[in-house]
């Protein structure tokens, strides 16, 4: 039987069988966390060691408190062994979850593609994505796959999109509009800057244009004016 | 005649209103703006460095030497851009529904005053007099064309709506490309555009509205389908002018950087002084000439000659490098014979910029070349070309050269 997050939670709620209890308590006492396979973590040995040490430090503090409590004179607060084990299990679950969230933000962590669309005709709409904020112009849409943060994240969009990166990030922008050739470009975005991306139509061709907000003046005047109007710049 | 006009101009500067003042103002506004009698004018140079930081340099010398933007210029804040009006020591910058007047003080561009124009997107301007500025623009839907008459000492404005057809259907936006007031006549070049699914292509027709001034009574609407998108964004660069006779010339600019209509050529039209219709005997197809490309600006240099700055489509690949690659060339056009002479200048970069300044027989041309950024001098009578002021090696673009006028 392998130790999973569900099993630890079950242990905390006091719903385990005796066999399951034994497995969890054995795991808590073990030096290795290699049995944790519930999470799709790709942890290096160094990371595993760090996780283990942090968890064990927390758990040890709880256990040492329980020993002191047991040795207190009569009339003091007494922490029963079952309570201590339960608390340790909760702590382990919280720590594992925190590590998983933190690690997922930094490395490969599979996410579903997020779909955004603004069906308004005259008003732009803001959304929060993973690592950046976006604002879609009227009648614009975007599919965002932010997997591999800092790496091959991609935004497929049609219309006009404003991008505000929360950190330095490299993304592939791809225009996905009907009856137009797909355009794709990898762009480095700097934290704190604001960018506008638009699929600009030239006769039978179209071009993906990405420009820093400060350089909107370089765009054709009519497009410039439309961006100012749509995003209320 | 020019001396009389100059005297009257000075007189009109001393009075803000008055029949004599307006009479000479109207006459002055038909004259070529390159006629300036002062020998001690100051100049303004707007640059961008390789990190994308903008600078403003004020100098007395354009014909020699070297200038360093960091040492001698003033670093500009990111909200200031090169779409400026520069005149009489002031810089006018437009932002949404506001025009702000700045002055360079202690190496800092300082806001002096401003005016808010509600529900008014500013698109074009024309100086009626040194104290009176006309702004043309639209309501927030970009369909109703408006004119604001600014009285600069007080920074007050009167706003009127022009009687132009409100666009409907697929071409539902309007843009104004030029404005000109001469002898009681206002000419307004405009287009109608698409605004669907990122298509901003103009219709097949270029329009010029003819109105009485200052009454703004509609006299005529000129339409022509040989080209489209008359004029430009004159806050960035001009595409029209009056010659010494008061004849009005304008470019239509359907190239990639302005109108974006692939089927129409860049062309030069003329409306003769006092007329309300096109001069049907005058039409110059720039794209079909030896230039063979689109252009976005034209500058009158006097004596029936003008300079056209044109692109070279085979040297760039789309809008993304249109402004990065040096591909622009300069041609002198004889307005009478329509003969073109290419100036032996290095290829220039920068999509749209105010890069020609005329002072008497000397035309200053700012060129952003691979070899460096220089102000060149063209002597109109002899066609002699020479290198003038050099910008420092960290300058990436000279974006504007302007005459600040006497202080």
**B349-387 pLDDT per residue, tens:** 999 999 999 999 999 999 999 999 999 999 999 999 999
pLDDT digits (tens, 9 = 90+) for A150-176: 556 888 888 889 999 888 888 888 887
Poorest-confidence range of B34-48, B130-144, B269-283, B339-353?
B34-48
Q: Answer for the pair B302, B34: CB distance below 8 angstroms, yes or no.
A: yes
Tally DSSP H helices, then E strands, for chain B: 3, 29
Average pLDDT over residues A209-233: 85
pLDDT digits (tens, 9 = 90+) for B48-94: 999 989 999 999 999 999 999 999 999 999 889 999 999 999 999 99
Mean pLDDT of chain A: 69
pLDDT score recorded for residue A68: 45
CA distance A231 to chain B (A): 12
pLDDT score recorded for residue A83: 61
Average pLDDT over residues B129-157: 92
Q: Answer for the pair A51, A35: CB distance below 8 angstroms, yes or no.
A: no
Average pLDDT over residues A25-49: 50
Strands B66-67 and B384-391: parallel
Q: Report d(CA B363, CA B350) in Å as an integer.
A: 19
pLDDT digits (tens, 9 = 90+) for B100-114: 999 998 889 999 999
Contacts of A158 in chain B (CB under 8 A): 197
Query: Does a cis peptide bond (omega within 30 degrees of 0) precede residue B261?
Result: no
pLDDT score recorded for residue A170: 86
pTM assigned to the model: 0.76
**Confidence band for A194, pLDDT divided at 50, 70 and 90:** very high
**Confidence band for B227, pLDDT divided at 50, 70 and 90:** very high
Mean pLDDT of chain B: 88
What is the share, in percent, of chain B residues with pLDDT greater than 70? 89
Q: How many CB pairs under 8 A join A and B?
A: 73
pLDDT score recorded for residue A148: 45
Q: Residue with structure tokens 């090696």?
A: B393
- DSSP-assigned states of every residue in chain A: ----HHHHHHHHTT---HHHHHHHHHHHH-S--TT--SS-----HHHHHHHHHHHHHHHHHHHHHHHHHHTSPTTS----HHHHHHHHHHHHHHHHHHHHHHHHHHS----PPEEEEE--SS--EEEE-SSEEEEEPTTEEEEEE--STTSSEEEEEESEEEEEESS-EEEEEEE--TTS--EEEEEEE-TT--EEEEEEEETTEEEEEEEEGGGGGGS-HHHHHHHHHHHT-
pLDDT digits (tens, 9 = 90+) for B211-223: 999 999 999 999 9
10 Å Cβ neighbour count for B249? Answer: 21
ipTM of the complex: 0.80
Of residues A207 and B282, which shows the higher confidence score? B282
Question: Is pLDDT at A118 greater than 80 in this prediction?
Answer: no
Measured between CB atoms, does A19 come within 8 Å of chain B? no
CA distance A186 to chain B (A): 13
Cα A189-A191-A195 angle, rounded to 5 deg: 50
Question: Is pLDDT at A85 greater than 60 in this prediction?
Answer: yes
Q: Report d(CA B318, CA A181) in Å as an integer.
A: 14
Contact B121 A200 (CB under 8 A): no
Residues 6 or more apart in contact with residue B56 via CB below 8 angstroms: B44, B45, B46, B47, B73, B74, B76, B91, B104, B109
CA distance A207 to chain B (A): 7
- DSSP-assigned states of every residue in B268-327: EEEE-TT-SS--TT-EEETTTSTT-S-EEEEEEEETTEEEEEE--GGG--SGGGTTTS--
Poorest-confidence range of A53-62, A114-123, B167-176, B316-325?
A53-62
Residues 6 or more apart in contact with residue B125 via CB below 8 angstroms: B85, B133, B134, B135, B136, B179, B234, B235
Q: Answer for the pair A217, B82: CB distance below 8 angstroms, yes or no.
A: yes
Nearest residue in chain B measured CA to CA from A228: B96
Contact A226 B195 (CB under 8 A): yes
Question: Is pLDDT at A75 greater than 80 in this prediction?
Answer: no
pLDDT digits (tens, 9 = 90+) for B286-313: 999 999 999 999 999 999 999 999 999 9
pLDDT score recorded for residue B9: 37
pLDDT score recorded for residue B2: 35
pLDDT score recorded for residue B26: 38
Question: Is pLDDT at B33 greater than 50 in this prediction?
Answer: no
Question: Is pLDDT at A71 greater than 60 in this prediction?
Answer: no
Picking from B73, B178, B322, the residue whose alpha carbon sits closest to that of residue A219 is B322
For residue B326, how far is the Cα from the chain centroid?
21
pLDDT score recorded for residue A134: 87
pLDDT digits (tens, 9 = 90+) for B179-222: 999 999 999 999 998 876 567 889 999 999 999 999 999 999 99
Picking from A143, A141, A193, the residue whose alpha carbon sits closest to that of residue A166 is A193
CA distance B5 to chain A (A): 36
Best residue in B200, B311, B325 for a mutation probing chain A (most A CBs within 10 Å): B200
Residue from the list B193, B199, B319 with its beta carbon closest to the beta carbon of A207: B319
Contact B82 A217 (CB under 8 A): yes
Residue from the list A159, A177, A202 with its beta carbon closest to the beta carbon of B256: A202
Measured between CB atoms, does A200 come within 8 Å of chain B? yes
**Confidence band for A8, pLDDT divided at 50, 70 and 90:** confident
Poorest-confidence range of A212-221, B44-53, B385-394?
A212-221
What is the share, in percent, of chain B residues with pLDDT greater than 90? 75
Question: Is pLDDT at A51 greater than 70 in this prediction?
Answer: no
Question: Is pLDDT at A216 greater than 80 in this prediction?
Answer: yes
Which H, E and C letters describe A33-82, residue by residue?
CCCCCCCCCCCCHHHHHHHHHHHHHHHHHHHHHHHHHHCCCCCCCCCCHH
Q: Answer for the pair A228, B96: CB distance below 8 angstroms, yes or no.
A: yes
Question: Is pLDDT at B234 greater than 90 in this prediction?
Answer: yes
Residue from the list A215, A220, A228 with its beta carbon closest to the beta carbon of B200: A220
Strands B356-359 and A205-212: unpaired
Measured between CB atoms, does A159 come within 8 Å of chain B? yes
Poorest-confidence range of A43-52, A133-142, B41-50?
A43-52
Of residues B320 and B53, which shows the higher confidence score? B53
Query: B160-167: which pairs have CB atoms within 8 A and are 24 or more residues apart?
Result: B160/B216, B162/B188, B162/B209, B162/B211, B162/B216, B162/B218, B163/B211, B163/B216, B163/B218, B164/B188, B164/B190, B164/B209, B164/B221, B165/B221, B167/B143, B167/B192
Measured between CB atoms, does A207 come within 8 Å of chain B? yes
Q: Residue B91 — φ and ψ, nearest 5°?
A: -120, 130
pLDDT score recorded for residue A109: 40
């Amino acid at each position: 039987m392998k130790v999973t997050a569900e099993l630890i939670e079950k242990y905390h709620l006091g719903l385990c069988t005796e066999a399951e209890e034994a497995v969890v308590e054995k795991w808590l006492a073990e030096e290795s966390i290699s049995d944790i396979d519930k999470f799709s973590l790709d942890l290096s040995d160094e990371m595993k060691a760090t996780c283990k040490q942090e968890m064990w430090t927390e758990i040890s503090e709880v256990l040492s408190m329980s020993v002191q409590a047991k040795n207190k004179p009569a009339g003091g607060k007494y922490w029963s062994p079952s309570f201590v084990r339960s608390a340790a299990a909760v702590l382990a679950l919280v720590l594992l979850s925190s590590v998983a969230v933190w690690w997922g933000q930094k490395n490969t962590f599979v996410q579903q593609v997020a779909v955004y669309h603004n069906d308004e005709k005259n008003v732009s709409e803001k959304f929060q994505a993973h690592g950046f904020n976006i604002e879609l112009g009227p009648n614009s849409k975007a599919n965002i796959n932010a997997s591999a943060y800092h790496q091959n994240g991609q935004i497929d969009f049609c219309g006009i999109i404003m991008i505000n990166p929360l950190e330095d990030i490299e993304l592939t922008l791809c225009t996905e509009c009907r009856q137009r050739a797909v355009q794709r470009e990898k762009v480095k975005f700097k934290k704190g800057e604001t960018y506008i991306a638009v699929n600009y139509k030239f006769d039978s061709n179209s071009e993906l244009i990405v420009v820093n907000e400060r350089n909107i003046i370089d765009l054709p005047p009519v497009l410039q004016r439309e961006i100012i109007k749509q995003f209320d710049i | 005649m020019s001396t009389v006009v100059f005297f009257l101009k000075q007189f009109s500067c001393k009075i803000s209103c008055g029949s004599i003042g307006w009479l000479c103002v109207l006459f002055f506004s038909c004259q070529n703006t390159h006629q300036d009698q002062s020998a001690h004018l100051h100049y303004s140079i707007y640059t961008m460095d390789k990190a994308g930081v903008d600078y403003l340099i004020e100098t007395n010398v354009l014909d020699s030497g070297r200038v360093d933007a960091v040492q001698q210029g003033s670093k500009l804040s990111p909200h200031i851009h090169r779409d400026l009006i520069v005149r009489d020591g002031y810089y006018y910058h437009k932002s949404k529904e506001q025009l702000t007047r700045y002055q360079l003080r202690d190496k800092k561009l300082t806001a002096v005053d401003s005016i808010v124009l509600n529900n008014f997107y500013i698109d074009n301007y024309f100086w009626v007099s040194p104290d009176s500025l006309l702004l043309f623009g639209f309501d927030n839907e970009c369909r109703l064309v408006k004119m604001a008459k600014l009285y600069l000492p007080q920074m007050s404005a009167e706003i009127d709506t022009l009687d132009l057809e409100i666009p409907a259907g697929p071409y539902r936006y309007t843009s104004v490309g030029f404005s000109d007031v001469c002898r009681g006549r206002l000419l307004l070049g405009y287009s109608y555009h698409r605004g669907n699914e990122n298509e901003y292509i103009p219709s097949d027709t270029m329009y010029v509205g003819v109105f009485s001034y200052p009454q703004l009574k509609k006299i005529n609407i000129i339409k022509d389908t040989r080209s489209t998108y008359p004029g430009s964004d004159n806050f960035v660069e001009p595409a029209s002018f009056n010659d010494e006779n008061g004849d009005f010339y304008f470019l239509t600019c359907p190239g990639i950087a302005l109108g974006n209509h692939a089927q129409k050529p860049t062309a030069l039209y003329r409306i003769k002084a006092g007329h309300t219709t096109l001069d049907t005997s005058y039409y110059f197809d720039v794209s079909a000439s030896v230039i063979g490309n689109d252009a976005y600006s034209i500058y009158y240099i006097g004596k029936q000659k003008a300079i056209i700055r044109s692109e070279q489509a085979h040297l760039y690949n789309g809008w993304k490098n249109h402004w990065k690659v040096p591909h622009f060339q300069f041609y002198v056009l004889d307005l009478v014979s329509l003969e073109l002479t290419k100036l032996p200048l290095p290829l220039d970069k920068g999509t749209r910029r105010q890069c020609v300044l005329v002072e008497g027989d000397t035309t200053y041309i700012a060129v952003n070349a691979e070899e460096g950024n220089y102000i060149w001098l063209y002597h109109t009578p002899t066609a002699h070309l020479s290198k003038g002021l050099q910008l420092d090696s960290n300058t990436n673009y000279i974006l504007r050269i302007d005459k600040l006028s006497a202080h």
